[in-house]
Amino acid sequence: MKRWAGRGAAFALILAFLLPARAADLSVQAQSGETGNYGITIPFTRSPRTERYLFEVYDGASAQGEPLFTGKELTVGTPGQTDVYLPLAYDLTGPHTYTLKITGLPMPGREELDLAASQTKTFQTGLVSTCGHSIADGGFVLGDGTESKPYRVASARQLDHVREHLSASFLQTAHIDVGETYSAWEPIGDVAQPFGGVYDGNGYEISALRLTKSAPDEGGQTFAGLFGIANGARLQKICLSDVTNTDPSVRGCGALLGDTFMTTVSQCRAKNVVFTGNSDKLSMLGGLVGDDYGDTTLRISDCYVQNISLDGNSEAGGLVGAFNTLSGLATNCYAVPDSLSSSKAGKAGGLLGSGGSGITGCFYLTNAAWNNGYGTPKTEAELKSAATFTGWDTNIWEIKDGSYPTLKIERPLP
């Protein structure tokens, strides 16, 4: 800090602030450039000698290295204790230690009388869950499960913990490699307790899913996916990659969803999906969704799949395995399978394994083995031509010649 010379002795400014910090639910722009609606609130008591302060936050137990957050100079005019909000995108996976540094700056006209002075203190976030479950069990550290304040999902354990709150709302805040924590993934939701909430993947990746099957329904059928069965749910902006099945006896298997009742799926994608087994029971396979149950409605829009390999006993569809023939709706989706096969003739489809008439603006990579009449077949060159996708929403899609369209919500991997 610069020392100011003057005719009298310079006094160090005295700071007073109280910790720990607490979370705040305000919409702010975090330093990383991502929009986040969380931060820390510092109960702060200013010095009587100045109203000018600089707040900085560092990772770890000391103020070393580059700060995670450097706020602009703030004027704290209120005497006594007040709250100062800092837009820090802190660790949402559990307890984490940070160091707060506060520097008091001389008031105008007192530069020759006072010196800037700093104090530091450590604090922790993520000590208490907001959902009533322990942090060790995947309890969430931010949000209350409502649509306005969804639980934040930042780790594989928290993703697994979604099954404890099947009607809540969730927002993913980080890429999640499930395989680093779980060698097998039990789907979220089954016939007895389906998922009926809102899951917003926020464009982050969920990878390395090794799918096991759900609990059987009354007919003994089982389902597999990130979600096993959804009923009245909304699934959006979910990006999946590297998904395989571990059980050859699943009826209704999709990277995102095994089976569905009255569910909406939008702006989702899956890459590198392999479901194999070709047993008597491995059926209704879809790159994204396995089965649209009975006469219920699946509404799927602005989704795509690439590098899909499915080999089953019955329906195998690049996007959806068994699509409802009466009321299912698919809009502005495409599929690029690698291989599709079924032991039943005509049950392998580039877009849908079976389906109905509610298909609008949907395409798939053409191949004589899976041109079953659902959706519009296109060559690779056509699927990499912007002209093919005329009328698709360019606020949602990144469309350019020479490459397959992608979703604008997709976040790059580190």
pLDDT at 27: 37
Q: Which pairing describes strands 334-342 and 363-365: parallel, antiparallel, or unpaired? A: parallel
CA dist., res. 110 & res. 107, Å (int) = 6
Average pLDDT, the chain: 86
Helix (H, G, I), strand (E, B) or coil at 401: coil
pLDDT at 13: 57
Question: HEC states along 339-391?
Answer: EEEECCCCCEECCEEECCCCEECCEEECCCCCCCCCCEEECHHHHCCHHHHCC
CA dist., res. 353 & res. 305, Å (int) = 14
User: What is the residue-level pLDDT of the chain in tens, covering all 414 positions?
Assistant: 222 223 334 555 555 554 444 444 443 333 333 445 678 888 888 888 899 999 999 999 999 999 988 877 888 887 888 888 888 888 999 999 999 999 999 999 988 888 899 999 998 888 889 999 999 999 999 999 999 999 999 999 999 999 999 999 999 999 999 999 999 999 999 988 999 999 999 999 999 999 987 666 656 678 899 999 999 999 999 999 999 987 777 788 999 999 988 899 999 999 999 988 756 667 789 999 998 865 567 899 999 999 999 987 788 899 999 887 556 789 999 999 999 887 776 688 999 988 877 899 999 999 998 999 899 999 999 999 999 999 999 999 999 999 999 999 999 998
Helix (H, G, I), strand (E, B) or coil at 230: strand
Helix (H, G, I), strand (E, B) or coil at 140: coil
Task: State both tokens at 2.
Answer: 């610069």
Whole-prediction pTM: 0.88
Residues 190/225, Cβ–Cβ less than 8 Å: no
Q: What is the separation of C-alpha 270 from the centre of its chain, rounded to a whole number of angstroms?
A: 13
**Checking phi first, is residue 311 left (phi over 0); if not, alpha (psi -120 to 50) or beta?**
beta
pLDDT at 1: 29
pLDDT at 346: 64
Residues 292/323, Cβ–Cβ less than 8 Å: yes
CA dist., res. 127 & res. 20, Å (int) = 11
Q: Is 322 exposed, middle or buried (0-12, 13-18, 19+ CB in 10 A)?
A: buried
Tell me which residue of 173, 178, 176, 167 sits closest to 211, measured CA to CA. Answer: 178
Burial 250-270 (b: 16+ CB within 10 A, else e): bbbbbbbbbbbbbbbbbbbbb
CA dist., res. 142 & res. 412, Å (int) = 24
pLDDT at 10: 53
CA dist., res. 397 & res. 40, Å (int) = 35
pLDDT at 96: 92
